[in-house]
């Protein structure tokens, strides 16, 4: 996606995740700028602010969370329909359980 920034070689944290999400979003809601987005509490709108996640994929994440009683680890994100290895690698530093 044009304008997307992927930070490599730095530990994930609020400033790294917020900077990458803020640059990638442009239209963004401010939730990603404050730290990792919680897979267990984020709304569809908050998940939609993540790079590579649109409203349909955000809904899939919420549906998975509802059906399975939440995410116990970030690795469970791989089980969501529409999340492949590449998208998981992009989202991993930006989300938390």
The string of pLDDT tens digits covering residues 13-47 is 554 444 444 444 444 444 445 679 999 999 999 99
CA quadruple 18, 8, 64, 3: dihedral sign: positive
Please state, in angstroms and rounded to a whole number, the distance separating the CA atoms of residues 63 and 71.
11
- Please check whether residue 1 is in contact with residue 82, taking contact to mean a CB–CB distance below 8 angstroms: no
Q: Read off the pLDDT of residues 38-92 as tens digits, 9 standing for 90 and up.
A: 999 999 999 999 999 999 999 999 999 999 999 999 999 999 999 999 999 999 9
Residue 66 · residue 40 · CB < 8 Å = no
Which own/partner pairs from 59-65 qualify as long-range (CB within 8 Å, at least 24 positions apart)? 65/39, 65/40
- Residue 12: pLDDT band (50, 70, 90) is low
Six-digit token pair at 15? 């400033």
- pTM, rounded to two decimals: 0.64
């Amino acid at each position: 996606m044009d304008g997307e920034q992927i930070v490599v070689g730095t530990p994930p944290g609020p400033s790294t995740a917020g900077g990458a999400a803020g640059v990638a979003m442009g239209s963004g809601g401010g939730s990603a700028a404050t730290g990792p987005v919680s897979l267990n509490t984020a709304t569809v709108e908050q998940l939609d602010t993540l790079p590579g996640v649109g409203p349909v994929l955000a809904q899939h994440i919420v549906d998975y969370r509802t059906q399975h009683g939440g995410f116990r680890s970030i690795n469970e994100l791989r089980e969501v329909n529409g999340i492949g290895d590449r998208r998981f690698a992009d989202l991993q530093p930006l989300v938390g359980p």
